[in-house]
Structure 1
């Protein structure tokens, strides 16, 4: 009887370790689930578009022309963003200007700038959060 209990306990321990490893190593895409839950009307109500912004890049002699769509957590945060357009614009300019032309080439460059801008904009708003940033216009020279 003792040997059977040891086998059952060992099996339970292995299943627990395997389950824990699964939840630890399998990437969770919580942000994608959040975005899917918004309807098109809600996204329009909770997002803002920046102006088209032209700024120098960190690499000498290069500049970028960009525009972003910023999805915010709620309508109250959108109202705050509309009042803080100068701060949003400054965050965009400083973020874009921190990259070189080579860093921004390709899809990975676009993703990098979107992620960096989410972090910068989080510092701007007192209420709510930035859920997503999309590059809607992007040109480099």
Structure 2
């Protein structure tokens, strides 16, 4: 009889400790979960972005493309560096496009790949920051 009472008391204590621990975990997750990991505002994005005006170049074939970009950086310093490297960025864009056919650039998948490729190549140049995203702002394939 006495053993059964001890086992019941120990079981109740263990369940109580488990419940208290579970409640503590829920409370901690609820409190820390309310803080959202917000990205930059649109004003901050625009302040750290560089416009690349329309570039006309040949593709790997007889096709021409007119294309313009907006490049988002992670800081104002990176933006300033990118503006100084304007000629290098244009060179990267022209060389990348000259290796592609019109079929490789058409469609959202092709354009997304181009944006990603340009981001990676431009980031290799950067010293003061990095490129977060490359946006195609205009495109005409002829």
Q: CA deviation at 1:105?
A: 1.2
Report the equivalent of 2:122.
121
Partner of 2:68: 67
Q: Distance in 1 between matches of 2:98 and 2:124?
A: 18
TM-score when normalising by structure 1: 0.72
**Structure 1 stretches lacking a partner, 5+ long:** 1-32
**For the pair shown, which has the larger CA radius of gyration, 1 or 2?**
2
Write the mapping of 1:11-90 to structure 2, written as runs, cut at 5 A. Answer: 37-58=39-60, 60-90=61-91
Instruction: Report the alpha carbon displacement of residue 89 of structure 1 after superposing the two structures with TM.
Output: 0.8
Q: CA deviation at 1:43?
A: 0.6
- Higher helix content, 1 or 2: 2
Match of 1:104 in 2: 105
TM-score by structure 2 length?
Answer: 0.71
1:130, distance to aligned residue in structure 2 (A):
0.6
Q: Where in structure 1 do 4 or more consecutive aligned residues deviate above 3 Å? A: none
Consecutive unaligned residues of structure 2, counting only runs of 5 or more, are 1-35
Q: CA deviation at 1:64?
A: 0.8
CA distance in 1, matches of 2:45, 2:88: 22
